[in-house]
Amino acid sequence: MRNRPQKILSIMKSHSFRVITVCGLLIVLFTFLLFNYKNVAEFCSAIIGALRPFITGCIIAFALNRPVMKLYNWLKAKKTDWKNEKIPFRLSITAVYLISVSALIAVVCVLIPQISRSIGMFIENFDLYYMNLKNFLSHLLEKINLGWLESMNILDKIYGLTRYVPSLLSKTFDMTANIFSVLVDFVLGIVFSVYILSDRQKLLRQLKSLFSALLPEKVYSKTYNFLSLVNETFMGFLCGQFTEALIVGALCFIGMLIFRFEYPLLISVIIGLTNIIPVLGPFIGTVPCVLILLLVNPYHAIWFTVFVIILQQVESNFIYPRVVGNSVGLPAIWVLFAVVTGGSLFGIWGMVIGIPAVSVIYSSVKKFVHEKQKNHF
């Protein structure tokens, strides 16, 4: 009888008991979430809404961390005798934020109003464009005698497809207008991000101390390596992807000005934004742009298609390898899997972050298998 408490205590300390306890708690938690998912979703939504400025600040700090550190290292290399080590770091933060805020102001004050005017002008002239396209296609069918197209109702399908363009642009216009509603959160996020980057080293030390205190040494080491891999993969891929999209959008704008295509700014922005989406982005962006030009000037739509094909070849063979490169190290089949699966689960942002997320999993599994094989042999 005296040994019973000791036996119970030894059982409670055993690995099997801890595993069973954790599994039991997870089952209880899953059951609770399953039957109260609406209340939990509302609670999580309220928490995220309250923390939105801080979350925005973390995202901004994460995005600007690399350019800040590159500029800091450059300043340190140029001048080694700084009186205070904090001076080059503060100069780096100030310069990067000035450039970023200036670019943001230019987008809000110059780019967005011009895009809004282009969308409004297109919607206003849509009926005229629609009739011009209808007359052009009817004349084309009479000229080249493609009666089989009429039997398949191809014209009706094209007309029906073009009818969706104004509503799509109207939604884009509404999204543009809603940008100003989140401006306060964004400004607060910038303030938070400045504090996060300024105290970057201190925050990292505190997080390391917290994790090392909570986790066993072996688990802490693996967690730290995993988080480092996540940081490097996501940062390298997202920075490269956004830079590449900016370059493609700028090249598209220059090309459209040279060839005198209609709505160059609107179409270039669509091409640039959709190019952020890997693999499928160029196709997603080209379709609405071709439809816009098809309504305005069918001949320009044909030449624009040729221009975009050439632009995408330049992007795939010259820009992408140099800007993004092999930052994720995924085979082609897994890249396609990541884009399709991410898009199915989380929409457009799922397509963007799907590749680095799958890359992290792929690298972790590959490393795990390699270590197991090494230990086995």
Q: Which of 42, 37, 186 is nearest to 105 (CA)?
A: 186
| Per-residue model confidence as pLDDT tens digits over 114-127 | 777 777 777 777 77
| Per-residue model confidence as pLDDT tens digits over 269-304 | 888 888 888 777 778 888 888 888 887 888 888 899
Tell me, what's the pLDDT at 181?
56
Name which of 80-89, 136-145, 175-184 the model is least confident about. 175-184
For the segment 74-91, the average pLDDT, to the nearest whole number, is 79
| Per-residue model confidence as pLDDT tens digits over 44-78 | 777 777 777 788 888 888 888 888 888 888 888 87
Given its phi and psi angles, is residue 286 left (phi above 0), alpha (psi -120 to 50 degrees) or beta? alpha
Question: How far is Cα 360 from Cα 276, in angstroms, rounded to an integer?
Answer: 19
Kindly write down the DSSP assignment for every residue of 196-252, as one continuous string: HHHTHHHHHHHHHHHHHHHS-HHHHHHHHHHHHHHHHHHHHHHHHHHHHHHHHHHHH
Per the model's pLDDT, the better-predicted residue between 366 and 157 turns out to be 366
Q: Which of 271, 259, 257 is nearest to 303 (CA)?
A: 259
Answer positive or negative: Cα dihedral of 330, 321, 58, 347: negative
| Per-residue model confidence as pLDDT tens digits over 324-374 | 656 666 676 777 788 788 777 777 777 778 888 888 888 888 777 777 777
Q: Which of 159, 172, 359 is nearest to 274 (CA)?
A: 172
| Per-residue model confidence as pLDDT tens digits over 25-52 | 778 777 877 777 677 777 777 777 777 7
- Compute the 3-state secondary structure of the chain and give helix, strand, coil in percent, each to the nearest 5: 90, 0, 10
Question: How far is Cα 88 from Cα 82, in angstroms, rounded to an integer?
Answer: 8
Examine the pLDDT at 254 and tell me if it is beyond 90: yes
SS3 for 139? helix
Question: How far is Cα 160 from Cα 167, in angstroms, rounded to an integer?
Answer: 12
The residues, any chain, with a CB within 8 Å of residue 136's CB and separated by 6 or more, are 298
Q: Identity (one letter) of the amino acid at 321?
A: P
Kindly list the distances between the CA atom of residue 185 and the CA atoms of 51, 99, 147, 350, in Å, as whole numbers in the listed order: 10, 20, 58, 23
Could you tell me the two tokens for 16? 């099997």
Query: Percentage of residues in the chain with pLDDT exceeding 90?
Result: 4
Tell me, what's the pLDDT at 258?
92
Kindly write down the DSSP assignment for every residue of 155-196, as one continuous string: HHHHHHHHTHHHHHHHHHHHHHHHGGGGHHHHHHHHHHHHHH
For the segment 291-320, the average pLDDT, to the nearest whole number, is 84
- When mean pLDDT is compared over 152-161, 274-283, 308-317, the highest value belongs to 308-317
Tell me, what's the pLDDT at 307?
92
Examine the pLDDT at 95 and tell me if it is beyond 80: yes
Question: How far is Cα 288 from Cα 69, in angstroms, rounded to an integer?
Answer: 39
Whose tokens are 């669509």? That residue is 270
Question: How far is Cα 53 from Cα 33, in angstroms, rounded to an integer?
Answer: 27
| Per-residue model confidence as pLDDT tens digits over 193-252 | 888 888 878 888 888 888 787 777 777 788 888 888 888 888 778 777 888 888 889 999
Tell me, what's the pLDDT at 169?
57
Question: How far is Cα 220 from Cα 208, in angstroms, rounded to an integer?
Answer: 9
Question: How far is Cα 246 from Cα 244, in angstroms, rounded to an integer?
Answer: 5
Answer positive or negative: Cα dihedral of 224, 229, 232, 235: negative
Q: Where does the pLDDT of residue 257 fall: very low under 50, low under 70, confident under 90, or very high at 90 and above?
A: very high
- When mean pLDDT is compared over 128-142, 157-171, 280-294, the highest value belongs to 280-294
Question: How far is Cα 123 from Cα 116, in angstroms, rounded to an integer?
Answer: 11
